[in-house]
Structure 1
C-alpha cells in the first residue's frame, strides 16, 4: 500500500491515506513512509475502536485492503455497508463481495502498479459516479450478507440435518 502511495505521489496525485491499526510491522511501515517522504500523504492512526474505524470509513472516498491472505474480511463488508466502494485483491472470498467497476476494484495481490491505478481511478472519479458505486456496494452487501438472512440460513441448515 505504501509502495502504491509512492507511485501516486510520483504522479503528483493529491491524496490522503489513513492506515488504521497497529502491529509488529508499524515501525517498518513508518520507516518506509519516511524513506519515500510520504509523511504529508499517509497518516497511521495506531489502534482505534470500531466506532473510530467507522468514522474513518465514513470520511473516506474508498476503503483499500490489498490483502495477500484473507478469508472474507468483515472490514470490507463494513465499508460496503457504509456505502464506500472497496479496492482489494483477488484473494479467497473477496471476489464474492466486490464486482469490479460496479462496487469497487479488484487487483492481483502484489501488483503495486495496478493497485496504484485503482487508487488513482477512485480519486479521479466524480462524486456522482463514486456515490453510485457506494450505493451498489451497500445493496450487494445487505442482499448477500445481512445478519438476519445468514442466521436464518444457518437455522434452516441445522433443522434439515
Structure 2
C-alpha cells in the first residue's frame, strides 16, 4: 500500500471550517436509546449522534475519537507544518554551510598558493637587487621581511618589483 502525501494546509482548512471546538463525547442523547453523541462545547450544538432506526452506531471509542480529533488534528497539523518549515530552514542552513566550507577550502588553497608564490619570489636573487634599488640599507635573504616595511615604508612595492623580476627572468 503506497502512502499518499496529504496537503496539510487543505487538511487544516477542513478542520477550521468544522463546528468550533472543543468537542466532547457524552451518553444520554435524548433522541436515542443507544445515546452516544458528540457536541460542541463552544456552541452547545450536537455534532453527531446515534439515532434509533438508523444504521449509525457511535461507539464510546468512536465518539471520543471524533471529539478529540476536533482539537487534536488541527494541533498535529500545525506542528507538522512548523516542523516542515524548520526542516526547510535547516536544510538551507546546511546547504549554506557546505557552500561556506567549499569557499573556505578554496580560500585556504588560494592563501597556500600565495604563500608558495611569495616563497618563490623572496627566494629569487633579483628580489634583493630590486630592494637595494630603493634603499641604502643592506637587505639580503637573512633580513626578516618584517624589517622591510621600516626600510621601504610599504611591502607592496617590493612585492610588485619582485614579481616583475621573477616574471622577466622566466
Pairwise TM-score range, normalised by the shorter structure: under 0.3
Q: Which has the higher contact order (CA 8 A, sep 6+)?
A: 1
Structure showing the higher helix proportion among its residues: 2
Structure label with greater radius of gyration:
2
TM-score normalised to structure 1 length: 0.25
